[in-house]
Amino acid sequence: MPLSRADVIHIAELARLELTDEEVARYQEQLSAVLEYFAKLQGVNTEGIPPTASVLPPRTVLREDEPRPGLSREELLANAPDVADNQFRVPPVFGES
Amino acid sequence: MLTAKEALRLLHRGEVSSRELTQEVLKQIERTEPAVHAFLTVVAEQALAEAEQADKHLAQARRDGDEIPPLLGLPVAVKDVLITKGIRTTAGSRILENFVPPFDATSVRRVKEAGAVIVGKTNTDEFAMGSSTENSAFGVTHNPWDLERVPGGSSGGSAAAVAARMVPVALGTDTGGSVRQPAAFCGVTGLKTTYGRISRYGLIAYGSSLDTVGVLSQDAADAALFLNIMAGRDPLDATSVDAPIPPAELRARDDLRGLKIGVPREYFGGGIQPEVESAVRAALEVFADMGAEITEISLPHTEYAVPVYYLIAPAEASANLARFDGIRYGPRVPADSMWDVFRRTRGRLFGAEVKRRIMLGTYALSAGYYDAYYGKAQKVRTLIKRDFETAFEKVDLIAAPVAPSTAFRIGEHTNDPLAMYLEDVFTLPANLAGVPGVSFPVGFDRLGLPIGMQLMGAHFQEHLILEVVHTYQQATDWHRHQPDPLGDDEE
């Protein structure tokens, strides 16, 4: 099933990716070709077949709930592009988007 | 360049110092790097300082008769998707261009605790998404056997660094073939471990149900050594498994009597380069001559591996890469609102293939398409996994080509993503089933490009596979051939 231009713009919005018009056109063509090839999966009979989310046998992993040292604030902020008052600084969350 | 085991023997005897060895490695990198570009970061001064520390430690251990840590003083390289404390780690992406991690990946930590000296970080397709290193934001790596060709990927920098004998061993990661395929293209040995065998903590996540840490080395013996050090349960990765750790030493067998090797018919025929098939068949003859029983088997769902993988891995990637948003690390592309910061930073700093896969995965998970794509792919994944389980009831190992052809030319597939994905058809199934595999050199095509073959085993059978490859490498010398990227050996 080929993707429309609107589909591509919608997916990019869900994925929070700003795309140029040229990228939208290219991804529309390339992703349509990929999905067309992938349609061959629809021909596989999977009735009664459970999905595999992990190849390992399911098990519960527990640990003691003990406090232990983590990274310092300084280490955590060291790679941030914008820091103020020992915190990550971000542009307005509410308002125009 | 010595193998890791040879170098360690000399180090332990005091016949070479870690400083000398590290200097030799750095010299070889300096000479070869302009032509090959296997590295994104080289930490020469730090490595020399650590080598000097290792030499002191060695001298003291020898004097006091203390046990010597198994990798003490050995220079190694690390793929740039494994994070390294204090050493820039980019994942081949502009979105992490200046990222200096505050901690080590568990695999890296274990190698460091065993005494290894990290000399640098190797090139990779961005976030390990690719089969050629052409998707690195920092330039392609050139195949040391032919500089016009790709080294494979995504661990192409690690494979090229080992092939060009810049380092004895390099760490890699394999999500869909990213250790085995570059090993094949570069004529080195590549170990892809069982899912859960080595902690993924600190491996910058791509496809979390598929990602594995692996080793690129000159031979199986070195791979076994590193597997022994990195394997094992890690409380920081809940999917890591508490299975017995395979021994560091391999025993070359006198013969392979009693070993059953299955050859899946789906991996031969249509589209495979004839020289690749004949080299793999010739290696199978060697195994047969040693007494192994070679039988044809079927892995009937092989043809679905490409669509299954390229739905599941991008779906997982679309979630994993949501954390790269210009807030906590990496550069930020400024905008008036936070939402536009996300969109612009991600839109402009992710490369074309990463965006393609995020889009594909987002679509496969989106409302109305989940069942048809992601859900369906997970069910067919079960069928692929069962193919392997059925096969391993009859045979001990499965033998197959690693890639349909030898190394392709830089630029040959860049405009056709589907064609690039189809190149991965022989490596993807092992990741979907979680089984281990080893790629090793078995010949050359008429252009002189290396040909690789893989042996796959049931979960946690790395030691068996490596022992069989080691036995093959005692009887043949394909793995000893070296490229001449600078043309020094001619005339």
- Residue B448, number of CB atoms within 10 A of its CB: 13
B419 in the Ramachandran plot: left (φ > 0), alpha (ψ -120 to 50) or beta?
alpha
Name the strand (E) or helix (H) holding B47: helix B44-64
Q: Which of B33, B4, B31 is nearest to B18 (CA)?
A: B4
Integer Cα distance of B86 and B462 in angstroms: 32
Residues in chain A: 97
Give chain B's largest Cα–Cα span. 70
Q: Tell me the CATH number for domain B4-233+259-300+385-480.
A: 3.90.1300.10
Query: Which residues of chain B does A3 touch, with a Cβ-Cβ cutoff of 8 Å?
Result: 363
Kindly compute the dihedral angle of the four CA atoms of residues B271, B276, B277, B283, in this order, to the nearest 10 degrees.
-160
**CA distances (Å), origin B222, targets B163, B248, B441:** 14, 9, 15
Axis-axis angle for helices B106-113, B220-230 (nearest 10)? 110
- d(CA A27, CA B318) in angstroms, rounded, equals 16
Whether the CB-CB separation of B412 and B405 falls below 8 Å is answered with no
Amino acid at B245: I
What's the pTM value of the predicted model, to 2 decimals? 0.97
Q: What is the residue-level pLDDT of chain B in tens, covering all 491 positions?
A: 799 999 999 999 999 999 999 999 999 999 999 999 999 999 999 999 999 999 999 999 999 999 999 999 999 999 999 999 999 999 999 999 999 999 999 999 999 999 999 999 999 999 999 999 999 999 999 999 999 999 999 999 999 999 999 999 999 999 999 999 999 999 999 999 999 999 999 999 999 999 999 999 999 999 999 999 999 999 999 999 999 999 999 999 999 999 999 999 999 977 899 999 999 999 999 999 999 999 999 999 999 999 999 999 999 999 999 999 999 999 999 999 999 999 999 999 999 999 999 999 999 999 899 999 999 999 999 999 999 999 999 999 999 999 999 999 999 988 889 989 999 999 999 999 999 999 999 999 999 999 999 999 999 999 999 999 999 999 999 999 999 999 876 43
Say what the pLDDT of residue B491 is. 39
- Which among A18, A79, A92 has the least Cβ separation from residue B337? A92
How far, in Å, are B1, B44, B58 from residue B74 at the CA level? 12, 14, 11
- Say which of A14, A31, A41 has its CB closest to residue B377: A41
pLDDT of residue A63: 84
Quick check: is B154 catalytic? yes
Which residues 162-201 of B are in CB contact (within 8 Å) with A? 195-196
Dihedral sign, CA of B128, B129, B133, B134? Answer: negative
Contact across the interface for B304 and A41, Cβ inside 8 Å: yes
Answer yes or no: do A31 and B241 touch at CB < 8 A. Answer: no
> What's the pLDDT score for residue B488?
78
Phi/psi region, residue B468 (left: phi>0; alpha: psi -120 to 50; beta: rest), is alpha
Please provide the average confidence, as pLDDT, over all residues in chain A.
Answer: 93
With CA atoms as reference, report the closest residue to B260 among B233, B291, B293, B223: B293
Nearest partner of B203 among B283, B268, B110, judged by Cα: B110
Comparing CB atoms, the residue among A27, A41, A76 nearest residue B359 is A27
Alpha carbon A70 to chain centroid, angstroms: 26
Check CB contact under 8 Å for B329 and A79: yes
Chain A contact for B161 (CB, 8 A cutoff): no
Q: Please give the average per-residue pLDDT across A60-83, as a whole number.
A: 93
User: Is A31–B363 a contact, with Cβ atoms under 8 angstroms apart?
Assistant: yes
Among B158, B178, B217, B318, which one carries the catalytic annotation? B178
Say whether B373 and A38 touch across the interface (CB within 8 A): yes
Contacts of B85 (CB under 8 A, 6+ apart): B101, B102, B103, B104
Q: Which of B307, B344, B360 sits opposite A41 (nearest CB)?
A: B307
For B388, the 3-state DSSP assignment is helix
B300 touches chain A (CB under 8 A): no
- Quote the minimal CA–CA distance from B349 to chain A in Å: 10
Of residues B79, B112, B121, B192, which has the active-site annotation? B79
Nearest residue on chain B to A59, alpha-carbon basis: B239
CB B77 within 8 A of CB B119: yes
What is the pLDDT, as a whole number, of residue A1? 62
Helix/strand/coil for B241: coil
> A55 vs B195: CB contact, 8 Å cut-off?
yes
- Report the pLDDT averaged over residues A69-86: 95
| CB B76 within 8 Å of CB B167 | yes
Note the pLDDT of residue B165: 97
* Residue A11 Cα, gap to closest chain B Cα (Å): 6
> Smallest Cα–Cα separation from B193: which of B157, B158, B223, B218?
B223
Residues in chain A within 8 Å Cβ distance of B308: 41
Rounded Cα gap, residues B427 and B488, in angstroms: 34
Q: Tell me the H-state helices in B214-351.
A: 220-230, 274-289, 305-320, 338-349
* pLDDT surpasses 90 at A94: no
- Can you read off the two tokens belonging to residue B17? 């110092």
Structural domains present in chain A: 1-44 (1.10.20.60)
Is B217 marked active-site?
Answer: no
Question: What number of H helices and E strands is found in chain A?
Answer: 3, 2
- Give the whole-angstrom CA distance, residue B168 versus residue B107: 17
pLDDT of residue A96: 52
Residues 6+ apart with CB under 8 A from B26: B42, B44, B47, B48, B119
What spatial distance separates the first Cα and last Cα of chain A, rounded to whole Å? 31
| Three-class secondary structure of residue A72 per DSSP | coil
Query: How is chain B split into domains, by residue range?
Result: 4-233+259-300+385-480
Q: Which helix (H) or strand (E) holds B48?
A: helix B44-64
Closest CB to A41: pick one of B331, B376, B382: B376
ipTM: 0.95
> In whole angstroms, what is the distance from residue A81 CA to residue B305 CA?
40
Taking 60 as the threshold, does the pLDDT of residue A97 lie above it? no
Say what the pLDDT of residue A95 is.
66
Are B128 and B207 contacting, i.e. CB atoms less than 8 angstroms apart?
Answer: no
**Beta-strand (E) ranges in B80-182?**
117-122, 169-173
Catalytic residue check, B93? no
A·B CB contacts under 8 A: 170
Given the residues B154, B155, B199, B217, the one annotated as active site: B154
- Say if the Cβ atoms of B329 and A54 lie within 8 Å: no
Contact B355/A at CB under 8 A: yes
Report yes or no: B386 and B254 within 8 Å, Cβ to Cβ. no
For residue B266 the two structure tokens come to: 């789906």
